[in-house]
Structure 1
């Protein structure tokens, strides 16, 4: 029972991350998810939803969630290619925006496929998920620094990402999986730092608003 509750919480939280990323992306005309995080995510969800439906023949709750997240990720990819070029600061970055982006998406797809080849679809799914979550946690911190503010970010995304990773970490602890527990704890530490940093940045922005108006 506890496991089902944790899985449900994780699913709701990750859905909130994607939906709010789409909302912010189109509203603020930017991509609300870091490039490498987005590329790893859409590759993971595309691969494992495909395996669920076409190889394993599963129509489980997790399979449906993976497919739904994949479709949501497509919308975030649209915001990336539609708006992210505007954040390029040099002519070279703008010129190579598409080739660089394609290289990143292709590289992440290859890496995710290698997990399946090397560890199998079941173990590969779990281990690659936690490694990419760790990369995501670091990427969000860099995004906060690079943008110099809270633009394209929200506490809903930050907290949902944190809780969405923490709940399967607890499941990993219940199963005695040391890899998941350790990587999950590291993710939680970086996620907590990001939440605090984003909160501090947002407070500073709010404090400056009256003086700027």
Structure 2
């Protein structure tokens, strides 16, 4: 099976979850990271199923949507529970929650006025994002071990939430406090543990030396 995963050259959860799943599973894949000109050409080509990235090519056939790609890559790599429907449901729920949080922030990306954008993000940082973090942390605490979100082994849900939290704490989102996760100790500990995994650390240091 020949795989090619296409997304921009930064560790946003929407693609990094699948990149890392394949890497951790030892699954060979072509890691395509288009620059701006390449992205514009790709978008104009009409070959993107929904006009968006990421996309995954499997033996020359192109597939899209973050959750679908993450589940597929998770199944290939052993990071998705294929034999336990309830565990799979819990993983899917967390992937969808991460997507919903993105939807909360997307409108701010289109605002050109800096003050308006800042005010919108400050409101999100006071209200919606803390509510989401509380809900996600509750799911972590519901698990039999707080080392992972589902079961006793890492899944793509752990990778997704790890990168989502990194996005919030990076300072990239002006107006969103970088210390939001401090009020959620279990979630903060989970993030730190995933981030410290030697395999993940090696990947991050080789692909994003400044992260």
Task: Give TM-score scaled by structure 1 length.
Answer: 0.35
Which of the two has greater strand per residue? Answer: 2
